[in-house]
Amino acid sequence: MLASAGKVVDLAGWEKVAAQLASGAEQLRPLGMSTGYHNHQTEWKPVEGKRPMDVLAAGTPKDVVLQFDVGTCVEVGEDPIAWIKANPGRIRSVHCKDWGRVTAAATLSHSARAIRRGRRSLRRRNLSAASMHYLVEQEIAGPEGQIAMARKCMDNWKKLRA
């Protein structure tokens, strides 16, 4: 899983990242393995009129796992559900974490609400979410400490699954 493309300054650079991921997928496919990409805020900010995340989705085969970090998408003001709908079948791994504009310790974050809406949308369309993997994370401990924050994350996960 590629967690960062490094410093990419133009559209050609993002197309090169997509080509590298596609090449990696081609090499790993015969071994029964796959490669993937984890997005951050950078992939949602347009470069030469295109969002890098769109370039990566369009420039890679569907077996390249796009690990969708919903929090960073929401953080830059993008709509994660609209992106998921526009790119069916591309998301097989969802990175969930508490995130809010005011506090990192929000009990039900923007990303959690977005994922819940997305899961409902997927159910309405009879699309299987069984192939998706969810990674639940907390990055910043509030004054309660790490264990309390981990409990909040698990409580949020249970709300998502309901």
Which has the minimum average pLDDT: 76-85, 113-122, 139-148? 113-122
Domain definitions of the chain by residue range: 11-161
Domain 11-161 class, CATH top level:
alpha beta
Q: To the nearest whole percent, how much of the chain has pLDDT over 90?
A: 36
Is it the case that residue 86 has pLDDT exceeding 70?
Answer: yes
pLDDT tier, 93 (very low <50, low <70, confident <90, very high otherwise): confident
Q: State the pLDDT at residue 92.
A: 79
Distant-in-sequence contacts of 138-146, Cβ < 8 A, 24+ apart: 138/97, 138/98, 138/104, 139/97, 139/104, 140/104, 140/105, 141/105, 142/103, 142/104, 142/105, 144/105
Mean pLDDT of 45-49: 96
Mean pLDDT of 34-51: 94
Question: Are the CB atoms for 65 and 56 separated by under 8 Å?
Answer: no
Is it the case that residue 118 has pLDDT exceeding 80?
Answer: no
Supply the angle between the helices 110-124 and 146-161 in degrees, to the nearest 10. Answer: 20
Is it the case that residue 131 has pLDDT exceeding 50?
Answer: no
Q: Say which residues have a Cβ less than 8 Å from residue 159's Cβ, sequence separation at least 6.
A: 108, 112, 116
Q: State the pLDDT at residue 161.
A: 64
Tokens of 149: 């924050």
Question: Are the CB atoms for 104 and 139 separated by under 8 Å?
Answer: yes
